[in-house]
Amino acid sequence: MAPAKRKKDSNKSAVMSIKDSNKLQVISIKTENSINSLPSNIANNSSLPVVLDTSLFVNPDVCTSLGSNPTEALEAFLFLAAQIHVLDFYMPPSIFKELLYFVEKDKIPQDLLVILHQKPPKKHELKTPAILLYELIEDIRERANKGLRIAEKAVRDTEHKKTDEIIQDLRKKYREALREGIIDSKEDVDLLLLAIELDALLITADQGLIKWAEKLGVKWLFPERFRDYLNESLKYTKNKMIPLKIVRDIMTTSVVTINKKARIKNASALISDKEVSGLPVVDDKGRVAGIVTETDIRVRSGKTVKDIMTSPAITIRPDANIKEAARIFSEKKIKRLLVVDEDGKLVGIISRADIIRTIGR
């Protein structure tokens, strides 16, 4: 059964003192606590804790910076995060459980639990200022009054509007008045408290969480800028120890291919039978001619694979460093990379998951 939905939708701050052991200064332009630049003094062994909300991967307005759906967004995040050793990523178990309802688990690398740490907040140890309770009660009271006025108006409109129209309008205005811009679930509280406990950067699209992050002095980042933040953070990792491996060490050599002269229906059947999203296309001598995907078959027309394939394919040599492979994955935003020899013949394939397993923490 799917979890109850939390609302998915900034700006005063108050100081909160929480016991913490791993603080990291951040250069920022604040609105007031939004982060618009990168961590500084990161050259030592310090790392910045980052707390992630489900909205980063499932909110359609923000997840597209990482992928077209929650599964792709999470996979893209893991690929980048595995290469960054100056950031530590956390998610409360309640949020992690919620996330798993939205992704295809069999497509997510097993290194997920290594890269994305599950940690509940220390609910019984954290100290919060009394103003939190005062403002929350005042907010609830004000919203209850708004809801009452909305209900009164709906009753008055019964003489002029149809019942279904009244109910639809009432639901919309009621949701705006009582749910937007407020923390109204245990999951919201878990995120906020964990960010406070770790003195972490909070990544969320939830306007209620952003509002309270501002009130409590918690650093936060617009989710739309999260991918850029990760890409820039990679620069701080360049001096860290990366496994000295080449593509040949991690590639898969048993690759299902199709000849460019094959009929499109044969390619479709092979993709379905092997449960893959695409196939390398080769000529009679085994040289890579392109790649054909489910999307190519669905949206393009022709008789043979050659007519619909994407060409040229993006390739890499087997003696290339895996850092070069990681760069290509990031720049081209692809999931798989064909490995060819000096004659252009296919000798293997590597995926983003292979990179994650190799250089993940």
pLDDT at 292 over 70: yes
Instruction: With CA atoms as reference, report the closest residue to 306 among 291, 294, 295, 285.
Output: 291
pLDDT at 349 over 90: yes
Compute the Cα dihedral for 13, 15, 21, 23 and give only its sign. positive
**CA 135/CA 139 separation, integer angstroms:** 6
- At residue 361, the pLDDT reads 47
pLDDT at 11 over 50: no
Residue 177 phi/psi, 5-degree rounding, is -75, -35
**CA 165/CA 169 separation, integer angstroms:** 6
CB 53 within 8 A of CB 226: no
- At residue 17, the pLDDT reads 31
- At residue 347, the pLDDT reads 93
Q: Where residue 269 falls among pLDDT bands split at 50, 70, 90?
A: very high
**CA 33/CA 38 separation, integer angstroms:** 13
Residue 19 gets the label, from left (phi > 0), alpha (psi -120 to 50) or beta, of beta
pLDDT at 179 over 70: no
Place of tokens 């397993």: 357
Could you report the per-residue pLDDT of 63-117, keeping only the tens digit for each? 788 888 898 888 888 888 888 878 899 999 999 999 989 988 877 777 677 788 9
- At residue 178, the pLDDT reads 64
What's the first-to-final CA gap in the chain, in angstroms? 33
Could you report the per-residue pLDDT of 294-340, keeping only the tens digit for each? 889 988 888 999 999 988 999 999 999 888 888 888 788 788 899 99
Listed by start position, the domains of the chain span 1-240, 247-359
pLDDT at 4 over 60: no
- Which comes out higher in pLDDT, residue 35 or 258? 258
Could you report the per-residue pLDDT of 229-249, keeping only the tens digit for each? 888 887 776 545 455 688 998
How many beta carbons lie within 10 A of that of residue 290, not counting itself? 20
Q: What is the DSSP letter of 7?
A: P
Residue 49, amino acid? P
Classify domain 247-359 at the CATH class level: alpha beta
- At residue 41, the pLDDT reads 43
- At residue 15, the pLDDT reads 31
Residue 11, amino acid? N
Q: What is the DSSP letter of 213?
A: H
Q: Which of 10-14, 213-217, 270-274, 307-311 has the lowest mean pLDDT?
A: 10-14
Percent of the chain with pLDDT over 90: 28
Q: Of the ranges 32-41, 180-189, 243-252, 299-308, which is most confident? A: 299-308
Query: Which residues, in sequence order, are bridge partners of residue 263?
Result: 304
Show Cβ contacts of residue 275 under 8 Å, excluding neighbours closer than 6 positions. Answer: none
pLDDT at 162 over 60: yes
- Which comes out higher in pLDDT, residue 306 or 60? 306
User: Average pLDDT, stretch 162-176?
Assistant: 73
At 188 the three-state DSSP class reads helix
Averaged pLDDT score across all residues of the chain? 79
Query: Which residues, in sequence order, are bridge partners of residue 116?
Result: 89
